Amino acid sequence: MMVDIPLRGRPVLIAGHGREVDEKVPMFLEEGALVHLVGRAGHVSGLASHSPGLDRDRVRDTAREVMPVISFISTEDRELNRALVEACRPFSQIVYVPDDMSLSHISLCAITRAGPVKIAVSTSGKSPAMAHIVRRRLDVLARNGTLVRPGEASAVEVIGGLRERVRGAFSEARSRKVFMYRLLMDPTFQSLSLAGDVQAAAARASVLMEEMRSRYR
């Protein structure tokens, strides 16, 4: 099972160095997390805090101070990984070590983005290398617009802005789901989204919402 954890404004501790850390620092920053780095990374701007030195006490003290929702540990040294996990685990909701699933609460997916759509690739920790290979293939499709078309990306933006209104209009989850599917299948909404006319697409969504509400009264 894959779970999308909301990270915006929440603390994340990253301890270590190497390729995995270099990849994960910008990924967590893009999610809006407050990233506290203990160690080295290729990207260090925008961090909530940064301690270049890497040792067990420093990791423990940082974890105790910020109480991270996720502690990400990757040092390319199995015994050091284990020591850092023991140091931060009491203060962390989730601990993840990409090179040792026995130390981890979860398995992080390889993520590719196509506009507002995120696509996760996972082998449940069995072969992270394969997950990265598949992700790179998806990256190519995302860049050339064949994975998620521009109109579909616009539709996601419109729907995201309507979520609170939809909750207010339909009290039952089933009704909300039916409306969302009808909206996505509506030819007028599709054409407006494809043209990138977000305002007109949102107006069309409002019309469809009122029509459906009138049927349910």
Report whether 84 contacts 73 (CB < 8 A).
Answer: yes
122 has a pLDDT exceeding 90: no
Q: Tens of pLDDT along 13-38?
A: 999 999 889 988 998 998 899 999 99
For residues 124 and 197, the model is more confident at 197
Q: What is the pLDDT of residue 129?
A: 78
DSSP 36: E
Q: What is the pLDDT of residue 35?
A: 96
Reported as a pLDDT band with limits 50, 70 and 90, residue 217 is: low
pTM above 0.75, yes or no: no
CATH of domain 1-108: 3.40.50.720
181 has a pLDDT exceeding 80: yes
141 has a pLDDT exceeding 60: yes
3-state SS record for 114-173: ECCEEEEECCCCCCHHHHHHHHHHHHHHHHCCCCCCHHHHHHHHHHHHHHHHHHHHCCCH
